[in-house]
Amino acid sequence: MNDKTPEEWEVELGAQVRAVRLRQNIDQQRLAEQAGVALNVVKRLEGGKGTTLASLIKILRALGRVEWLSTLAPVVSISPLQMLHGKPARQRASRGQGRRYV
């Protein structure tokens, strides 16, 4: 189980965004312009101070990492409970009514 505080998660997420930005060789000002947010928003996010969800989405989109959001709640095709309830009842052969072989 993960015992990180919300503040620790903000710091980790900010560090990940910063690492992606640096790998793409983009400075904070350029990222802010591409994302359509203020420079201060990028600085706060990377510094672990948080941001709005809308700003985070804009920044991830500008970095080409919006797919990160889909990992928060992956689509489940079938739940284990559906599998249990969806099983057909087991059928048994009747006694004495089967074919007799001579």
Taking the C-alpha atoms of residue 49 and residue 64, their distance in angstroms, rounded to an integer, is 22
For a pLDDT cut of 70, what percent of the chain falls above it? Answer: 75
pTM to 2 decimal places? 0.69
Kindly state the average pLDDT of the residues 68-85: 73
The predicted pLDDT at position 10 comes to 94
Instruction: Kindly list the domain boundaries of the chain, sorted by start residue.
Output: 6-70
Which among 48, 42, 41 is positioned nearest to 10, based on CA atoms?
48
Kindly state the average pLDDT of the residues 57-81: 83
CATH 1.10.260.40 at 6-70, yes or no: yes
User: pLDDT at residue 86 above 90?
Assistant: no
Q: Which residue has the higher pLDDT, 84 or 14?
A: 14
pLDDT band at 34; cut points 50, 70, 90: very high
